Amino acid sequence: MKVNIHNARFLLSGVKREHYPTTAMPEVAFVGRSNVGKSSLINKILNRKNFARVSATPGKTATINFYDIDEKLMLVDLPGYGYAAASKGERKSLSSVIGEYLTERKQLMQVILLVDSRHKPSQDDIKMLESIKSAGGMAVVIATKADKLSKKALEENLEMIIETLDLQDGDILFPFSTQSTDGVEIFWDYIYDYILYDEEEEGEDA
């Protein structure tokens, strides 16, 4: 396992560009519907409990939260979209918070889309992935809450997600669960291979 986290710390929360940190390290941001499991995933990959705030009520994360990992990588937890119970005004303001960060942040290396492994990706998910790709990013998709499905149902749903999002060879899709470390390893392998290019972490053939 390549995971070698020495020092993860919450840096700051903000809603507009003046609040963003002045750091230069590469940023990887998580987007997806409210309640899909963005904050839970951050806690899991950092092996922390309640580091990023999680709740049974959707709409928990209303700010952009920056987590500094070893002063090498910034993980960015974004508010979720599509929270039906939010007012029109609230939804509009959240989507401009997300949009401003995604379009203006120079340090942003990759946006990772989270979708619930139990459900067909929504129109919002499809649009989000298109905008990630048109901004020059790769398609990197994580199917969350994999523990809620049988192995067979998960395989079928991953196929359905591939079709719905029109994923191609070379795109990245993997399942994730807070109940297992499988996805944690795949996540960090992805980070070392595509974001940090960390030679030292390559093992015996480095």
- Supply angle C-alpha 48, 77, 162, rounded to 5: 100
Cα 95 to Cα 40, 62, 100, 109, distances in angstroms: 21, 10, 8, 20
Q: How far apart are CA 165 and CA 139, in angstroms?
A: 9
Three-state DSSP class for 114?
A: strand
Indicate the residue among 69 and 145 with the shorter CB distance to ligand GTP. 145
In the complex, the smallest distance separating the C-beta of residue 145 from ligand GTP, rounded to whole angstroms, is 4
- Which residues here bind ligand GTP, judged by CB under 6 A? 32, 34-40, 54-56, 58-61, 79-80, 144-145, 147-148, 177-179
142 or 196: CB nearest ligand GTP? 142
CB of 60 to ligand GTP, least distance (A): 4
- Please state, in angstroms and rounded to a whole number, the distance separating the CA atoms of residues 202 and 206: 5
Identify the sign of the CA torsion 116, 145, 132, 137.
Answer: negative
Binding residue count for Mg ion, defined by CB under 5 A: 4
User: Which residue, 66 or 192, is less far from Mg ion as judged by CB?
Assistant: 66
Q: Give which of ligand GTP, Mg ion, none residue 35 binds (C-beta under 5 to 8 Å, depending on kind).
A: ligand GTP
With binding defined as CB under 5 A, does residue 61 bind Mg ion? Answer: yes
